[in-house]
Structures are given as C-alpha cells and as structure tokens.
Amino acid sequence: MTALLDSAALDQAGDTGTTLVRLIRAEFMKIRTTSTGELFLTGFIVFTAMALTINGFGIHHQLDPQQGLAGRAQALAQARAPASVAKMAASMMTSGQRICVLFALLLGVLIVTSEFANQTAAVTFVTVPRRTTVIMAKVAAAACCGALFWLVGTVLAAVATPLFLYSQHVSTSVAGWAVARSVLLNLLAFVAWGVFGLGLGAVLRSQIVAVIGAIAVYAGSFGTELVFSALYNLFRQGWMLGAPVIGPAVASEVMTTSGPAFPHAPPGWTGGIILIGYTVALVAGGIALTKRRDVI
C-alpha cells in the first residue's frame, strides 16, 4: 500500500462529502490500486476452497460412519437427524473461519502500519490534522474489508454446501435459523478481526512487529485451552474449564460455533462480548497513542 493519503488522493476520492467520507474513499482507493488487496483476496479464496474440501471429507465420514452393523445403524441415524444435518450445514457455510479470519486480521494491520512503513504518515496527518478522524476512517475500511472477505467466503460456501449435501442424500435449508445464525455471527467475527488488526497496528505501529504480534496473539489464543486444562488438573476449579474463552481466537470460535466449541465452553454471547471488548480496547488505545506520538 504505497499510495499516499495526500491532497491528490483525497481529490480522487471525491470533492463532495465530509472529511471522514473522503478519507474512507481514499483508504479504499489505496487498497484497490495496490497488489496487497488482490493478493489477500486470492489467498483467501484458495484457503476457503481448501477448507470447504476438508470440511466436506469430515462431514462425509460423519454421514457414512464405518462401524459395526449395529453401531453403524445408530451412528447413521444420529448423523442424519435434522438437528445434526443443520449443524453440518452451518459448519460448511462457515468453513475456514478458524484460519481465514487471519486474512482480515493481517489486512487490518497493514492498513495502518503501511503508512508508517512507507513514511507517508506525516503527509496524512498534515493533510488531515484530526488524527482520530484518520484512524476512524481506517477502522471503517478494515471493517468493510472483513465484511468483503465474509461475503466472498459465504458465496462460495452457499454454492458448495447444497450441492455437497445433495450428493450425500441429505437436505436442509441453508436459510434456516441455525445456519443463518452461524453465518451472521461469522460476519461479526470477520469485521471484528479486521478492526482488531487495525487497532493492534495502531498500537504497535511497526509493521513487522504488528504482523508478528497479530499472528502470535491469534495462534497463542488456542494455547489457553492447554494452559487452563493443566491448571484444572492441579486445582480442580470448575471455572477453569470455560476460562480459555479469554483468548481472542477462542472467543471468536465460541461465538460462531453452533453448539459448544469445546467441552464446558460458555455460551456464544460470552465469546462475542470478549472479542468485541478486545477490539474496542485496541482501537481506543490506538487512537490515544496516535494522538500523543510523533508521526515520524
């Protein structure tokens, strides 16, 4: 993202509207006119297709269990029950969420850190001295990019899921509430992770440090399950079984999963509140630090 957010960029973004609207247009122009957005979108499509394929193989084995005759009949009846099929459809419609939100997260990081990496931040803040307005425009851009990733993934899944379920001789409506709920919460997850990355980038500012930090935070979140499992074995405190939800990535999974994301997982709304809380805190911290720091 080497395009400058200078007066020329703002002019190309349109002569009408408020400063915030023009800044948002300029942010989209930078994403659209550089290779970063295309590379991220291409990678996202590839990983989503891979996730759909892997998920499909897993669901196929659930629908065609290889067990003894008596056990297979019972497992087959359970797997093809309407509630189970709806859960499978929800899983298919959100395929790749665990890994693909990383694209929204990292793009959010780059939206803000590219200004400092390319030394264009000074021009940006001289052109628009209101730093909060600049950061909020980037927040809007990161949120929209997350929503775009969700839309592309949902369209791919909406094409593949009915065809796959038909091939398995089961049917369910992808518009049913169980499926629609997971899809809508998946949208919230993608938007939140895009803004999360933006906030993290604004706090850390260094592009390399922020990218490494984003990956470490996301991947390290899943380690909370191991940590609290070990603590539970030592102290036998029941609350420790649900405590892994404090990890942002685990909170995201708890929020979007149809049913418990892991044994003793808290309700989905708990994960949503935790993820949104982290996101708001990072954006607020990023705004505060950006207002106080030198931009060069």
- For 39-77, write each residue's pLDDT tens digit: 999 999 999 999 999 999 999 888 877 765 556 667 777
Q: Which residue has the higher pLDDT, 104 or 15?
A: 104
3-state helix, strand, coil in the chain (%, to 5): 80, 0, 20
- Helix 177-204 / helix 207-221 crossing angle, nearest 10 deg: 140
The domain spans of the chain are: 17-292
Q: Could you give the angle at the alpha carbon of 203 between the alpha carbons of 202 and 204, nearest 5°?
A: 95
Q: What is the pLDDT of residue 13?
A: 45
Q: Which residue has the higher pLDDT, 217 or 14?
A: 217
- Helix 35-63 / helix 131-167 crossing angle, nearest 10 deg: 30
Q: Are 189 and 96 in contact (CB under 8 A)?
A: no
Q: What is the pLDDT of residue 296?
A: 59
Kindly report the backbone phi and psi dihedral angles of residue 148, in degrees, each rounded to the nearest multiple of 5, phi listed first.
-65, -45
- 148, 208, 284 from 197: Cα distances, Å: 15, 13, 13
- For 63-73, write each residue's pLDDT tens digit: 877 765 556 66
- Mean pLDDT for 77-100 is 86
Q: What is the pLDDT of residue 8?
A: 44
Q: Considering the entire predicted model, what is its pTM? A: 0.88
Between 59-63, 123-127, 141-145, the lowest mean confidence (pLDDT) is in 123-127
Q: How far apart are CA 35 and CA 38, in angstroms?
A: 5
DSSP state for residue 266 in the 8-state scheme: P
Torsion angle in degrees (nearest 10) through CA of 186, 192, 195, 201: -100
pLDDT band (50, 70, 90) for residue 120: confident
Q: What is the pLDDT of residue 225?
A: 87
> Which residues contact residue 207 at a Cβ distance below 8 angstroms, ignoring those fewer than 6 apart?
109, 110, 113, 114, 116, 117, 201
Q: What is the pLDDT of residue 172?
A: 78
- For 253-263, write each residue's pLDDT tens digit: 999 987 888 88
Is 7's pLDDT higher than 70? no
